[in-house]
Amino acid sequence: GSGGTDSAGTSGSGDKKIVMGFAQVGAESGWRTANTKSIQESAKEAGIELKFSDAQQKQENQIKAIRSYIQQKVSVIAFSPVVESGWDTILKEAKNAKIPVILTDRAVDSPDKSLYKTFLGSDFVEEGKKAGQWLVDQYKDSKDPVNIVQLEGTTGSAPANDRKAGFEQVVTDPKFKVIASQTGDFTRAKGKEVMEAFLKANPKIDVLYAHNDDMALGAIEAIEGAGKVPGKDIKIISVDAVHDGMQALADGKINYIVECSPLLGPQLMDLTKKVLAGEEVPARVVTEETAFTQEQAKQALPERKY
Ligand code: AHR
C-alpha cells in the first residue's frame, strides 16, 4: 500500500515520526491474521506510521517490498521471513542504507548477525518438543507401533524446520513411525488435500501431527469425509492455539495444542523505539507460551483474544 509521503520530514518539536516498513508473509492462517492485526493496532497505539505489505507466501515479493522500503527511506524495517535462507543480499542493502532491521516471528539462517538488530518470536524447536512430549506420554504404556502422519508447514520456513526437528528430538522410541510427511503450506485447504491423500494411501493412521491449527482443521474435514472420528480414531496434535483450533480442541476433535503467540505487535514497537533511540536490545527475545489439553481449552476459550 502507499502511506504518507512526508514521513522523512522533521517537525518543529524536533520529534521525527517513526515510519516502519513491515513485510508480512501473507494471510495463510488464523495465526497470521491475528499477527497482522496485532502489528497494525500496536503501531497505531505507539504513534508509528506503518507501511504494510503482504507477500502471499512468496520470498520474491518480500524482497521487493523490503527493497521498496529502503528506497522510501523508512526509519525501520521489520519482517517475518517466509523461508530461512536467501536474505543476505537484501539485508546488506538495508544495512548499507543504515536502516535497522528487526526480525519478527521467523528467523533467517544468515551467519552474519550484524544484518539485523534483534529477533523477536517463538522458540519453534521447543514447540515441536512439547508436541512430541505429549505423544510420548500418551503412549507410554503401549508397546504397539504408532503410525504418525505429519503435515509440515511451508517448506524451508523456520517453524516447519524447527517443529519437525523438535518433535524428532523427543519422539525417539522405535515404536513411533512417521509413515508420511508432507507440506500443507500452513493452510486449511492444503491441509485437507494432503490429509485426503494420506488417508487413501495409509489404512492405519493413529496420530496426525500438524504444524499449525489451520492444517489440522483442514485435515479434520478430510478425516470426517473418510468416515473416521477425529480426536478418537486419529489423535491430532497441532500448534498455534488460535480460536478455531481451540474450539476444535474443546469439542474433542483435536487432542493437544501447543501455543504459539501471534501477539508480537507491542513488543515489536517497543524494540523499535529502543533501537532507534540507540539503546541496547537483546539479540533474541523469546515469546512466552504454553500448551493446552481439551479440558484446558474449555477453560481458556472464553478469554482468548484471537
Ligand atoms: O511463523 C508462525 C507460523 O506461521 C504459524 O504457526 C502458522 O500458523 C503461520 O502461518
pLDDT band of residue 106 (cuts 50, 70, 90) is very high
Ligand 1 atom with least separation from CA of 159: 1
Cβ 101 vs Cβ 275: under 8 Å: no
Residue 9: pLDDT band with limits 50, 70, 90: very low
pLDDT, one tens digit per residue, over 139-158 is 999 999 999 999 999 999 99
Mean pLDDT of the 224-243 span: 98
3-state SS assignment for residue 78:
strand
The pLDDT tens digits for 245-257 are: 999 999 999 999 9
Q: Does any ligand 1 atom lie closer than 6 A to the CB of residue 160?
A: no
Specify the residue with its C-alpha closest to ligand 1, atom 3: 159
CA of 4 to the centre of ligand 1 (A): 30
The mean per-residue pLDDT over the stretch 97-116 comes to: 97
* Mutational pocket test of ligand 1: of 24, 25, 28, 32, the residue with most ligand atoms within 8 Å of the beta carbon: 32
Mutate-to-test residue for ligand 1 from 24, 28, 29, highest number of ligand atoms within 8 A of CB: 29
What are the grid coordinates assigned to 136, written together?
Answer: 510420548
Mean pLDDT (the chain) is: 95
Per-residue pLDDT at 15: 67
Say if residues 262 and 306 touch (Cβ distance below 8 Å): yes
Q: Are 81 and 103 in contact (CB under 8 A)?
A: yes
Strands 101-104 and 284-286: unpaired
Res. 1: pLDDT tops 80: no
The predicted model gives 106-121 an average pLDDT of 97
**What does the pLDDT read at residue 5?**
43
Pocket flag, ligand 1, residue 129 (CB < 6 Å): no
Distance of CA 32 from the midpoint of ligand 1 (Å): 6
Higher per-residue confidence, 8 vs 51: 51
Q: Which of 3-17, 76-90, 161-175, 276-290 has the lowest mean pLDDT?
A: 3-17
Atom of ligand 1 minimally distant from the CA of 157: 1
Q: Is the CB of 199 under 6 A from ligand 1?
A: no
CA distance linking residue 158 with residue 105, whole number of Å: 9
Q: Decide if 23 contacts 62 (C-beta within 8 A).
A: yes
Residue 3 in this model has a pLDDT that exceeds 50: no
Q: In angstroms, how far is the first alpha carbon of the chain from the final one? A: 25
Q: The whole model's pTM is what?
A: 0.94
pLDDT of residue 203: 94
Q: Which of 224-228, 231-235, 302-306 has the lowest mean pLDDT?
A: 302-306
Q: In what order do the strands lie in the sheet with 291-292?
A: 176-183, 146-152, 207-210, 235-240, 256-259, 291-292
β-strands 146-152, 101-104: how paired?
A: unpaired
Share of the chain above pLDDT 90, in %: 94
Cα 40 versus chain centre, distance? 17
The pLDDT value recorded for residue 305 is: 86
- For ligand 1, whether the C-beta of 127 sits within 6 Å is no
d(CA 31, ligand 1 centre) in Å: 6
The mean pLDDT value for 192-210 works out to 98
Average pLDDT rounded to a whole number, residues 4-22: 64
Is any atom of ligand 1 closer than 6 Å to the C-beta of 185? Answer: no
Is residue 93's pLDDT more than 70? yes
Mean pLDDT in residue range 174-202: 98
Give me ligand 1 centre to Cα 145, in Å.
30
Pocket test for ligand 1, best of 186, 286, 289 (most atoms within 8 A of CB): 186
